Amino acid sequence: MELLINPPDSQPIFDQLIQQAAETHGWSHQPYDYKYYSEGFDGYWFIVVVDKEKDPSNNFVAGGALARWDAPNSPPLYGIGLFYTNEKYRGRGHGKLIFQKMMDIVGNDNCVLVSAFNMSQKYAEVFGFKEMPSYWHYGANVRPEMVKIPELSGEYCTKNWKNVDESLLNAYDLTICPRDRKKLMRTWFEQDQVYTRVAFDNTNHKIVGYCTIRVINLNRLSVAPFYAENEKVAARLLADVITDIPDFKSYECLLFLYPSINEKMESLINRFVGPDGYSIGYSTKKRNQFTKKLIESRDDVGIFGPDDAQYNETEARMLLNLAAAAYSLDATPCLQRTFTPAENQTLLTTFSVRCDFIGNPCAGYIVVSDVLQQITVVFRGTKTSSQLLLEGWTTLKPSADFYGMGLVNTYFRSGHEKTWQYVQDALSIPQYRNYDVYVTGHSLGGALAGLAAPRIVHDGLRQSHQIKVITFGEPRVGNLDFSHAYDQLVPYSFRVTHAIDIVPHLPACVKDLSYTPPAGSDGSMPCDPMSTNGGYHHALEVWYPGNMTVGSPYMICTGLPRDEDFSCSNAPKVDLDDTTLGVWDHRNYFGVEVPDFGKGGCDPTMTFKGPPTKTGVLSLVSSVFGRKRRAV
């Protein structure tokens, strides 16, 4: 017997392993999986024991595969798979030798494997794979000859993955898995006899799922990966991918592996084959087990849920206090007046860095609550008139790439880079790794929040469902491509706009020239939802058309164009020759003058005057930067 690591003739040995494992345990593989494992991951070890006295085509004794997966801002994750011993050689210690060799390579890093029900306890107690979700995965076996495509919803459509913007698909996948799987996904999809489609919502063109079915050994089909936002999406995906497969009904079976907490799976399968066309392998259930830390997927964690997809004004008012506090040298008074002592909101860090060559700062602070298991990142708004002018110089057109997510404003990008380290360090503290995250800011602070939030998800610091953003008076940060990527990465995000606040209209978007303003209107035109040349908002706008006192009406802007709803703040035409009220609306949210309110410690007894009477472009600078705190 001989133990080998990555032998030069690995493919024939690999083929023997997957064939034997399929015949005895039904494992789902193909010979080309060896290429996927060896090329798709950042490290790969195929460790086998062979019988040197036998023909190379029949010399497999035992084996296993170890892969290392690296991701930005995360320690490496190792994975063990295809751990199998030829039935003729079991009980002789070959498997134990291979497993120990793999664990020696792993060292003190985190490692995961998929365990069968009868082996789970042994892996936990003997080998230390003790971190695991509470649920199992079940296998469903569907008979292709009985499949009938059901009636499908017209709300969704699908595209072949090759015809989909890869950055958008990757952004969607980051809402499912906190580690960047872009390379792995592409390698998986590009294999032979693999069929993948991506689902879109026909209303907003947002990705809502994707599905892969591939041909595996023993004339079978396997469904993986398969993600969908609801059962209608899942049905559309499954039907369209099935239609892509030649001679679908000639295969022996269609295999699914799904989490037991997915209560819709059997309902979905029933729609295609009925109760007599499939079986569920409850006795052969499996689950992921980790040595150091459970890497959670959307199945495991959803700190923000459906309720968070709804705007909460009480929550917004609390975050406005925090955004106001960023204008003060000490945020503590605002924190004390906003939260109860029992919530234990503690100032974790403050930051102020030189934002440009004149010396204007980009600043903010971060607070944490162990009681609420929550971190809040707050960015400060524009401070000086020179800073406004610098923003103006670079806001005509988004031109700076933002990590493949689209183009953003150069000044905002620079400010983000100079403040990012503080955010990254706070969210990487081990004791806070599972805390949910709020991000907020007013004006420039809203723009910096709009860049920090998607990068938090992009870099794997949190999943999409662990982060929520509410900003106030936020300008347009990037272009249409960035808007799409942002909405995929940060689904719980709201831009609050006060009446005719001028800043959310800067920089100007490209107008839709196909639109004809009605006779007698002010001539306002909607943003072009297809142009990537100008600024374009991300996230859902919440528009207060009048004042913002308690009980004031507001609009949830879900109309078209998406994120630039023409029935909300974009409806009135912006008059740059008279910006007085637009500036006053920018400074005043929820009945307080935001910068002064923060500097005053969020004292609820403070009073503020109404809008000034001066008009014209020059009043913009004097109103935003030249006003002093009023006497109480």
Active site residues: 443, 501, 586
What per-residue string of b and e applies to 142-174 under the rule 16 or more CB within 10 Å gives b?
Answer: bbbeebeeeeeeeebebeebeebeebbbbbbbb
Calculate ∠ Cα 274-276-277, nearest 5°: 70
For the chain, the residue count is 632
> Which residues, in sequence order, are bridge partners of residue 592?
589
- Find all residues with CB under 8 Å of 251, minimum gap 6, and list them: 144, 215, 219, 220, 221
SS3 of 286-327? EEEEECCCCCCCCCCCCCCCHHHHCCCHHHHHHHHHHHHHCC
- Going by C-alpha positions, the residue among 581, 580, 584, 582 that lies closest to residue 593 is 584
Residue 508 DSSP symbol: P
Cα separation, 176 vs 298, whole angstroms: 5
CA distances 74 to 70, 109, 183, 466, 612, Å, are 7, 11, 16, 17, 51
> Which residues, in sequence order, are bridge partners of residue 67?
44, 79
Cα separation, 79 vs 106, whole angstroms: 9
Token pair, residue 112, equals 């995961």
- Going by C-alpha positions, the residue among 146, 359, 160, 345 that lies closest to residue 252 is 146
How many other C-beta atoms lie within 10 A of the C-beta of residue 20? Answer: 18
Cα separation, 436 vs 178, whole angstroms: 13
Cα separation, 440 vs 465, whole angstroms: 16
Radius of gyration of the chain (CA): 28
Helix, coil or strand: residue 388: helix
For 338, how many CA atoms within 13 A lie in the half-sphere containing its CB? Answer: 24
> Which residues, in sequence order, are bridge partners of residue 115?
287
Residue 282 DSSP symbol: G
Cα separation, 386 vs 625, whole angstroms: 10
How many other C-beta atoms lie within 10 A of the C-beta of residue 68? Answer: 17
- Find all residues with CB under 8 Å of 102, minimum gap 6, and list them: 45, 47, 64, 66, 80
Beta strand extents in 398-525 (DSSP E only): 400-401, 407-408, 436-442, 467-472, 493-498
How many other C-beta atoms lie within 10 A of the C-beta of residue 297? Answer: 16
Per the listing, tokens 């609550």 go with 369
How many other C-beta atoms lie within 10 A of the C-beta of residue 219? Answer: 10
Cα separation, 581 vs 614, whole angstroms: 9
Cα separation, 97 vs 103, whole angstroms: 10
